[in-house]
Chain A
Amino acid sequence: MISVKNLYKDFGKLRVLSGLSLDIKRGERVVLIGPSGSGKSTLLRCLNQMEEPTYGEVWLEDSLLTAPDPYLHFDIIRASRTYQKLVAKGMSDTDCIQKIKAEDLLKKHEGKAYHSMMKTLEKENRIDINLARQRMGMVFQHFNLFANMTVMQNLTLAPIKLKNKTPAEAEAKAMELLTRIGLADKRDVYPSTLSGGQKQRIAIVRALCMEPEVLLFDEPTSALDPEMVGEVLDVMKSLADEGMTMIVVTHEMGFAREVADRVLFMDEGQIVEEAPPAELFANPQNERTKSFLSKVL
């Protein structure tokens, strides 16, 4: 459903993601763990383009979300003049591609033909990022409920604006979800009067009101008091039971063990190890995974 190909993200000189690839299937629950600074959150934010990747591609089904990456499309490399010149010198196909990729020759030296090819690729596949974001909900560490709106306005703003729902329809849907998390009585209060756990549960509902196909959770419990973590995790578990596709960055190993189909351990901008939770927690293969798990478990 989501596929990430050869993703790089640099912040200035700091490389946060280095050549990461990932495939997530519909209905899968993936948990990302790893030491801080390993790029978990950045990866999550690159999925819905809250951060623009430096290189690489992110696909949501058949739609390209990023600018197309020339190095992923060998036919583009092969059509380039640089490639032709190298072949004429007697270099083999794989060597040419290697050399062009390694020395970043395409972007610098190719002219109109290359640009028009990239344009076509972009036109055929890339979709408006706002449309894509409607399909991928996001839950933030700091909730980010709109402070100038009541809970109900928070929940209905986007559905009314973007899904052409009437206010009544949007409110009915929002009420149904609010009732489910037991906060129906909070519909007309402002977020500042809510506790952290309540805010986060409402933030989850806000994402759900857009009927997304996948939910991204960016450390949803890290800013909460310990006694409120449970209520948020319960909501997430019930979503998981319903078959929602979820990608979760978290430090809650218990949640990962219980809910995840697959746990990815990230370090230094790469996925170091991935396995079902039972396997990864019980029998980690990689040294870095072992040392990380020994510290947190």
Chain B
Amino acid sequence: MDFLQKTIELFTTERYVESLFSGLWMTVVISVAAAVLGLILGSVVALVTIAPKSRAIVLPKALCKVYITIIRGTPMALQLFIMAYVIFAIRGFPPVVTAILAFGINSGAYVAENIRAGILSVDKGQTEAGRALGLTGATTMLRIVIPQAIKNVLPAIGNELIALIKETSIVSMIGMYDLTMAAQVIGGGNNMASYVVPMTAAALFYLAIVYLLTFCIKLIERRLRAGDQR
């Protein structure tokens, strides 16, 4: 009965609702912006890493390799701290931007590897057929390989986005007010004095976001699989 009472209290007290939803908003903003940044960055990095060898591309290729190695080899929390306390340790620099950059850059490395794997998974014969017709490498990539690669990488990208959304919960470590932080603050408050209810509520919010995302990805996937054998 206590649980029910506290739940009612959580959703009827204006102060709690406000703080819960402002936390949710922060989580969504960081996730969406970081996802967009990560996808763009990841696509560019993936294309550079698979580009045919030539003198002009050697340096960018090496940089991309270093980027992927460092980002995947160090903890996310540490990257966030470095962003917040070293690189953007400027007074008045909006912490949201810091968080978006940190998560976007982190996500980009994983997305790049996923996309690279997706492009490599497309049968070499597809490229050969395109080139044999006289199409340029770029046209073949754009019209034939990438559409098929997108279909292949979609599940992996979905995974990455889900991980990203949940990982944003660590922004509380640099003092930002996201969904997790909101639940913590509400639970620790004088009146509520219980973590169970706000934490459960926050968990359900995360679950809802992730479920929505999964649903969208499934929808897109079904669309793209129109050309496959059923």
Q: When chains A and B are docked, how far (Å) is the Cα of A137 from the Cα of B148?
A: 23
Q: Binary interface profile of A, 185-215, with partner B (CB < 8 Å = 1, else 0)? A: 0000011110000000001001100100000
Seen from chain A, the residues whose Cβ lies within 8 Å of a Cβ on chain B are 48, 50, 130-134, 137-138, 140, 142, 144-150, 157-158, 161-162, 190-193, 203, 206-207, 210
Q: When chains A and B are docked, how far (Å) is the Cα of A190 from the Cα of B128?
A: 19
Contact residues in B for A134 (Cβ distance below 8 Å): 133-134
Q: When chains A and B are docked, how far (Å) is the Cα of A157 from the Cα of B130?
A: 9
**Given A130-B135, A158-B135, A190-B227, does the pair A145, B129 have CB atoms closer than 8 Å?**
yes
Residue contact B227 to A192, C-beta cutoff 8 Å: yes
Partner of A133, one of B123, B132, B226, B228: B132
The stretch that binds A, out of B93-101, B136-144, B182-190, is B136-144
Q: When chains A and B are docked, how far (Å) is the Cα of A48 from the Cα of B128?
A: 11
Contact residues in A for B227 (Cβ distance below 8 Å): 147-150, 190-192
Contact residues in B for A203 (Cβ distance below 8 Å): 129
Contact residues in A for B228 (Cβ distance below 8 Å): 147, 190, 192
Residue contact A140 to B139, C-beta cutoff 8 Å: no
A141: nearest chain-B partner, CB-CB? B125
**Given A192-B228, A193-B229, does the pair A206, B148 have CB atoms closer than 8 Å?**
no
Residue contact B132 to A190, C-beta cutoff 8 Å: no
A206: nearest chain-B partner, CB-CB? B133
Partner of B133, one of A133, A147, A149, A190: A133
Contact residues in A for B130 (Cβ distance below 8 Å): 146
Residue contact B132 to A162, C-beta cutoff 8 Å: no
Partner of B144, one of A48, A132, A146: A146
Q: When chains A and B are docked, how far (Å) is the Cα of A138 from the Cα of B128?
A: 10
| Residues 109-138 (chain B) with a chain A CB within 8 angstroms | 123, 125-126, 128-136
Determine how close the nearest CB of chain B comes to the CB of A217; give it in whole angstroms.
Answer: 12
Determine how close the nearest CB of chain B comes to the CB of A152; give it in whole angstroms.
Answer: 13
Determine how close the nearest CB of chain A comes to the CB of B225; give it in whole angstroms.
Answer: 10
Determine how close the nearest CB of chain B comes to the CB of A194; give it in whole angstroms.
Answer: 10
Q: List 20 A-B contacts (CB under 8 A).
A: A50-B128, A130-B135, A133-B131, A133-B132, A134-B133, A134-B134, A138-B132, A140-B132, A142-B125, A144-B126, A147-B148, A148-B148, A157-B135, A158-B133, A158-B135, A192-B227, A192-B228, A192-B229, A203-B129, A206-B133
Determine how close the nearest CB of chain A comes to the CB of B196; give it in whole angstroms.
Answer: 50
A132: nearest chain-B partner, CB-CB? B134
Contact residues in B for A137 (Cβ distance below 8 Å): 132-133
Contact residues in B for A146 (Cβ distance below 8 Å): 126, 129-130, 144
Contact residues in A for B125 (Cβ distance below 8 Å): 140, 142, 144
**B60 beta carbon closer than 8 Å to chain A:** no
Contact residues in A for B133 (Cβ distance below 8 Å): 133-134, 137, 157-158, 162, 206-207, 210
Contact residues in A for B148 (Cβ distance below 8 Å): 147-148
Q: When chains A and B are docked, how far (Å) is the Cα of A207 from the Cα of B148?
A: 21
Residue contact B147 to A148, C-beta cutoff 8 Å: yes
Determine how close the nearest CB of chain B comes to the CB of A103; give it in whole angstroms.
Answer: 29
Contact residues in B for A140 (Cβ distance below 8 Å): 125, 128-129, 132
| Residues 190-213 (chain B) with a chain A CB within 8 angstroms | none
Q: When chains A and B are docked, how far (Å) is the Cα of A293 from the Cα of B128?
A: 32
Q: When chains A and B are docked, how far (Å) is the Cα of A236 from the Cα of B151?
A: 35
Known: A140-B132, A210-B133. 14 other contacts (CB 8 A): A50-B128, A50-B131, A130-B131, A138-B129, A138-B132, A140-B129, A144-B123, A147-B228, A150-B227, A162-B133, A192-B228, A192-B229, A193-B229, A206-B129
Q: When chains A and B are docked, how far (Å) is the Cα of A191 from the Cα of B123?
A: 14
Q: When chains A and B are docked, how far (Å) is the Cα of A131 from the Cα of B148?
A: 26
Determine how close the nearest CB of chain B comes to the CB of A130; give it in whole angstroms.
Answer: 5
Determine how close the nearest CB of chain A comes to the CB of B130; give it in whole angstroms.
Answer: 7
